[in-house]
Amino acid sequence: QRDKEVVMEAVRQDGCSLEFACEELQSDKEVLMEALRQDGCALRYACDDLQSDKEVVMEAVREHGRALQFACEDLRRDKEVVM
């Protein structure tokens, strides 16, 4: 799906629906943050750059601790993120 408004509404209902968004929207921080508020594990569908973004990863982990597994290696070792 390429329509940002449609994708935003979808991820508000189910964060993991980000899986079906186009790559461009999976790389959109605003869309991803909305998805993470609903389901932290939506981090798995984010681009590498956003999986390396501390703010993004902290939001994901705050919503669902297991989302940490989808973060970049450096952030998985970051005490601030893990705590």
pLDDT on residue 59: 95
Dist. CA 42–CA 33, nearest whole Å: 9
Which among 48, 45, 37 has a CA at the least distance from the CA of 74?
48
Note the pTM of the prediction, 2 decimals. 0.91
pLDDT of residue 71: 97
Structure token pair of residue 45: 């569908």
Q: Are 25 and 1 in contact (CB under 8 A)?
A: yes
Assigned token pair, 44: 């798995």
Q: What is the mean pLDDT of the chain?
A: 95
In whole angstroms, what is the distance from residue 49 CA to residue 34 CA? 17
Cβ atoms 44, 72 nearer than 8 A: no
